[in-house]
Structure 1
Amino acid sequence: MDGAKKLRRKIRYTILYRFVQFLIFISSRLPRVFWLRFCGILGKIAYMFAAQTRRLTLKHLTMAYGKEKSPTEIRKLSRKVFEMLGKNAGDVLRASGTVKDWSDIEKFLVIHGYENYEAARQKGKGIVFVACHLGAFDLEVTAMAVRGLNPNIIGTPLKDERLNKLLWGYRNKYGAVAIERGRETFRMIKVLKSGGTVALLIDQDTKVKSRFVNFFGMPAATPVGATVLAMKTGATVIPTYIYLGDDWKQHMHLLPELPLALTGDDEADMVYNTQIMTSFIEQQVRKHPAQWVWMHERWKTKPGEEIV
């Protein structure tokens, strides 16, 4: 990267960093619903100007729903995706400046199925939370941490050090442990064998060990980390997701344990179990299609290109 490009990139990230700081500052000084409505408007504005992101969103929605929805319906849904992305991101930003303890979270977030976590915890084998990029997914980590679950969450560092410090500081703030992707395997196994918790998002096409499974009727390279950890440690797998409801509450769901296939054929079991987890994620995305990250290139990797 030449000097001019480095300078432009530095300026761009500086502006973004200051803008995020400003949004966090004002979010805590406005009524939450008013703030979320405002963020929804920002999302609609972004739809008009973010041409490449809009194009990818339309492309992927058409791939997933082309046989079920008309082009007009898909375009309408794509606009809603941007609006809901703004609202959910706004809730995460606001939480970073307003949440101190559980009493702050329960004002706007409802946990469904907490008894499923309790049942899994009593087994003492560690818990793998399988999550996805649906809704305000970072709030799941916040809620888990404030409730004392102390989840370990794996993430890819952001390109800008200041933004990365801001994000990871937020994730670590309440007792969660953010771990850089690529350095996690041994540590995660140790955490689970000691009865701890790990949260992994497995619904993106990333440069990690993956296998192809079906997602919206198409082969999608899918991270197998959650499956491998559960198979190696005997940890209980608990699916989880969150979405913003019509009542302006964030609804976080912890589902019953997901039984894994353990036939002795590790490769076949890895693919089968990853498919089960991915099918669960597809079910939730279909329930709340406007709150998933359709701009992500979920089907980018082609067979033979995956990391094995």
Structure 2
Amino acid sequence: MKHLLEYWVLLLASFTAKSLTESGAKRFSRIVAWLAYRALRYRRRVALRNLRDSFPDKSSEEIQSILRNSYINFGIVTVEFLRLGSKAGKKASSELIINGSEHIDRVLKNKSGSVLAAGHIGNWELLGSAMAQRWPPVKGIAVHMSNPYSDKFIEKLRFDGFEEVIYKSEPATSFLRSLKEGCNLGVISDQDAGKSGVFIDFLGRKASTPKGAAFFALKAKVPLFTVYSKRLDDGNYQAEIIPVELDYDGKITEEKIKTATQEIAYRLENFIRENPDQWLWFHKRWKTRPPDEQEKKRVLILQTAFLGDVVLATPMAESIKNLHPEWEVDFLTTPESAALLENNPNISRILTYDKNKSERGVKGFLSKISEIEAGAYDIALIPHRSIRSAALVRFAGIPQRVGFDKSAGYFLFTERVKYENELHEVERNLKLVESLNLSVSKVKPRLYPSSNDLKKSEKILKSSAKLKNRPIIAIAPGSIWPTKRWPIDNYIELAGMLVKDGFGVVVLGGEKDKALFKKISMEGVEVFAGTTTLLESAALLKKCEALVTNDSAPLHFAVAVDTPVVAIFGATAPKFGFYPYNSDDIVIERELPCRPCAIHGGMKCPIGTFECMLDIGAEEVFNNVKKRILLKS
């Protein structure tokens, strides 16, 4: 019943296509393209993967544009094929421009036959019909469909377009006999040939390619031509016939076949690069891989929370690349956090999602889905525990989606990993990587300031009269949560003690911290709030003896550049898993029954005492700084 239904649909589509005017056929082709694009999502994913691998330097927008236009081309090709044999179909094939026709004329004159190596570009069916009308007989090698009704219908369409069909399942002697009888034999040479093919270079990768075109031409000692068509701006087609040089002397060797097959592929590749939206991208051209090739996967890590969370997710990328250097790892984060990932050798591409500003709302969400879909990812790792993050990768069609069981969008994941409260966030995140059956070793967070960042930080420190000849201690008094801030007066007192002890002090923070940090200005202290980029701040930290900070992003910046840390925890607690990820680093806190009061902190102390921070004095912190520096040495 299924086969009959498919046949009736084809019959109706063909009747409709042949009945329509030219403008009506164009509208019908758009409908076919839309249905194929929407209904065959798996094929769309195959096409996106092929495009991403073939054009690694193109943006997601460019990839999606080529994809959409290739589906439009597919719709046009389908409708034009369904019209073969009709008055409109005959007109279209007769008007197809063919350059290099003198080569076929010469073949006919010599009554030798030829092999025509074609591909799924432009309109290959219309091209076959056009050549069959002009230089009969033309036979195209085809594969039987699983549906016998549809198979007969397609064969009749081709016959109506004057092209005969010879099936791949027939013995090789049938093809050779046709060539010796003066037939022009059409061979599609851009499909995966499985284990029987020859591996050649095609669009930047090894591709198993049919040997047939080269083999039959060499065996029958007939000319071999490449013939590809492209659609012109006026809707007509232009094809070009170009001879392939063959060595007919001596035995037919694998090297001869491979050389000719590679030449065919090079020509098609050039044609595709010039007309990428006219090739059929959604067939599995690279399905068969060389036996010695490692399987390549694409992974997307999605973390759009706070700056510190992004730093703590960097070990995921490094651990994957340590085990599989051939895999591609991309990272999606906010525009602000993206700067932290620059120069990271483990990350191929950085995608940004401005979820709170320019890409806020449904329109921005849908646009980001499209961008993620264009990445053709195999795996998504989502440490961010928001439903929006889970929904992005689900609707982008990523087949393997791994996140925590405590995520608000856990039901959108294909695999859920237990969120273990007692682990550090780095180790929790690495559990997501381990779920891929990868044996992950301990990896610490890393940032990669550029050489320019390092030079600028060195210049800043050297040019400061206040810091001259002093070892440097950094302090980072800021946090977006007031209950996570150790009082500014305590930082001022601490800075004075450090300066008195011979240290220079640099104060790091953002633009919003400038007004607050002005209070710390004194001899031996330089304030850099809002004057350095994130990686420049990391470069400055790299040159410091230690960092004193609240439970905030600079804590993780310092760890990521191997700078010792003394961290002051108030409303939050180390047991949440966001403490410094170096065993020698020091956390100062107070054990109180009211602590912790929130995982992120809050705007004010819930009980109004703020005892967790007020009870920690500058002298205690100062002594721990000295202790941490001794541990470092």
* TM-score interval, normalised by the smaller of the two chains: 0.7 to 0.9
Larger mean CA deviation between 110-119 and 233-242 belongs to: 110-119
Does the 8 Å contact 1:142/1:176 carry over to 2? yes
Alignment of 1:204 with 2:194, yes or no, is no
Of the candidates 112, 123, 142, which is equivalent to residue 125 of structure 1? 112
Counterpart in the other structure of 1:98: 87
Q: Which has the higher contact order (CA 8 A, sep 6+)?
A: 1
Alignment of 1:58 with 2:48, yes or no, is yes
2:86 is paired with a residue whose SS is: helix
Of the candidates 214, 228, 231, which is equivalent to residue 227 of structure 1? 214
Structure 1: gaps spanning 5 or more residues: 1-9
2:243 is paired with a residue whose SS is: coil
Alignment of 1:191 with 2:181, yes or no, is no
Does the 8 Å contact 2:244/2:260 carry over to 1? no
Structure 2: gaps spanning 5 or more residues: 293-633
Does the 8 Å contact 2:84/2:157 carry over to 1? no
Q: How far apart, in 1, do the equivalents of 2:127 and 2:157 lie?
A: 12
**How far does the alpha carbon of each residue in 1:121-140 deviate from its partner, in whole angstroms, 9 at most, with x for none?**
33433211111111221112
2:170 is paired with a residue whose SS is: coil
Q: TM-score, normalised by structure 1?
A: 0.87
Alignment of 1:152 with 2:107, yes or no, is no
1:144 is paired with a residue whose SS is: helix
**Residues matched between the structures, number:** 291
Q: TM-score, normalised by structure 2?
A: 0.44
Q: Assess, with a 3 A threshold, how the Cα gap between structure 1 residues 128 and 62 changes in structure 2: closer, same or farther.
A: same
Identity rate, percent: 25
Q: Which runs of 4+ in 1 moved over 6 A?
A: none
1:257 is paired with a residue whose SS is: strand
Alignment of 1:80 with 2:47, yes or no, is no
Does the 8 Å contact 1:205/1:299 carry over to 2? yes
Alignment of 1:176 with 2:163, yes or no, is yes
Does the 8 Å contact 1:238/1:255 carry over to 2? yes
In structure 1, what residue type is equivalent to 2:151? N
Q: How far apart, in 1, do the equivalents of 2:89 and 2:202 lie?
A: 38
Q: How far apart, in 2, do the equivalents of 1:301 and 1:182 lie?
A: 21
Alignment of 1:256 with 2:236, yes or no, is no
Alignment of 1:134 with 2:124, yes or no, is no
Does the 8 Å contact 1:205/1:222 carry over to 2? yes
Cα displacement (A) at 1:232:
1.1
1:95 is paired with a residue whose SS is: coil
Task: Map 1:213-292; keep pairs closer than 5 Å.
Answer: 213-251=200-238, 253-262=239-248, 264=250, 266-292=253-279
Does the 8 Å contact 2:121/2:278 carry over to 1? yes
Cα displacement (A) at 1:212:
0.3
Does the 8 Å contact 1:208/1:223 carry over to 2? no
2:102 is paired with a residue whose SS is: helix
What's the RMSD between the two structures over aligned residues? 2.2
Does the 8 Å contact 1:109/1:250 carry over to 2? yes
Q: Assess, with a 3 A threshold, how the Cα gap between structure 1 residues 190 and 138 changes in structure 2: closer, same or farther.
A: same
Does the 8 Å contact 2:221/2:248 carry over to 1? no
Counterpart in the other structure of 1:3: none
**How far does the alpha carbon of each residue in 1:218-237 deviate from its partner, in whole angstroms, 9 at most, with x for none?**
10000001111111111111
Cα displacement (A) at 1:174:
5.0
Does the 8 Å contact 1:88/1:244 carry over to 2? no
1:21 is paired with a residue whose SS is: helix
Cα displacement (A) at 1:184:
4.1
Larger mean CA deviation between 219-228 and 24-33 belongs to: 24-33
Does the 8 Å contact 2:98/2:241 carry over to 1? no
In structure 2, what residue type is equivalent to 1:244? R
Compare CA radii of gyration and give the structure with the larger one. 2
Cα displacement (A) at 1:75:
1.3
Does the 8 Å contact 1:210/1:221 carry over to 2? yes
Counterpart in the other structure of 2:30: 40
Which has the larger helix fraction?
Answer: 1
In structure 2, what residue type is equivalent to 1:145? A
Does the 8 Å contact 1:36/1:91 carry over to 2? no
**How far does the alpha carbon of each residue in 1:226-266 deviate from its partner, in whole angstroms, 9 at most, with x for none?**
11111111111121112222101132x24232211456461
Q: How far apart, in 1, do the equivalents of 2:242 and 2:231 lie?
A: 21
Q: Assess, with a 3 A threshold, how the Cα gap between structure 1 residues 23 and 96 changes in structure 2: closer, same or farther.
A: farther
Cα displacement (A) at 1:57:
0.8
In structure 1, what residue type is equivalent to 2:46? L
1:255 is paired with a residue whose SS is: strand
